[in-house]
Structure 1
């Protein structure tokens, strides 16, 4: 049951993609799911994301896109509890890229690698369907030929993504030098 903060205009906007779930964030920090017309928790937003749903979080008053801040809040809560995914060293290295000339490249590189790893994980799960626990244990041994093949494929894709990032940087450097009237030797 929505409270007095809910506005009937909270329905998904035409600008939103049909599969995108619109969540309104109210000043009282409550999250309202416009698809189900119910209030939800941050944990429920996390479950939507885990389930593969595209979500967009909007400020109920201003309409500003708050999706990134909500996703970062979910990551922060996950990192603070249980087993963190990022070490302090990894976090410090990520912070060092902010404001650095490589910031844009690093974000794209990380995004591509996470995407490749997710695809790798999906293919691994498909291959593992129907395996007995014993066969699964053999399959997961890092020295097994199948696992070496899978890991080699992932490493190759990662290396390709890094090479593409380098080529993109080179093209942009060349364009910048040309803009300043300087030719690359």
Structure 2
């Protein structure tokens, strides 16, 4: 049975959702049951959401977020191609698995930041400026894209450096040196 404890046990600012064995989701802020679509909307509204098992308190947030992504991907306009999904699967168990997650996270954040800046700056754009922007003549776009590309290149260089270090460590464990 749901309780009225609110966000008790969660970090401040977190919206605590409890998942019950009957697969129902209970929003402790509003004291109501909510749907997966409503959890998705909370995420879209930039709410800090945590999903916990009602009995054990186990954090189920990742599995609920993955379930939302799965529904979005099945909804007709997928974001990920089969090739991208296959490559992501291949990174599980790979020595670079941890680094790949950080790489993706930083690139998605950089892309989000770029999108936010474009939205902020587009409020002051005239139709003529928009035409120039769409033709990739805008210094603003080149500067922002340059920053994104630079961040991506930096992450790639770090990933290559990490792979080099791991190769050296692995070879060193066998008493071999890299040439």
Cα distance in 2 between the residues matched to 1:165 and 1:55 = 31
Q: TM-score, normalised by structure 1?
A: 0.84
Contact 1:22 1:35 in 2 (8 A): yes
Cα distance in 2 between the residues matched to 1:62 and 1:161 = 38
Q: Report SS of the residue matched to 2:12.
A: coil
1:12 to 7, 12, 24: 7
1:100 CA drift (Å): 1.5
1:174 CA drift (Å): 5.6
Aligned to 2:107: 113
Flag structure 1 segments of 5+ consecutive residues without an equivalent: none
Tell whether 2:157 aligns with 1:163. Answer: yes
Aligned to 2:95: 101
Tell whether 2:86 aligns with 1:64. Answer: no
1:151 CA drift (Å): 1.5
Deviations 1:105-134 (A, max 9, x none): 111111111111111111111111132344
Tell whether 2:46 aligns with 1:49. Answer: no
1:101 CA drift (Å): 1.6
Change (3 A) 1:146 1:89: same
Cα distance in 1 between the residues matched to 2:14 and 2:175 = 46
CA RMSD of aligned residues (A): 2.3
2:136 to 121, 131, 142: 142
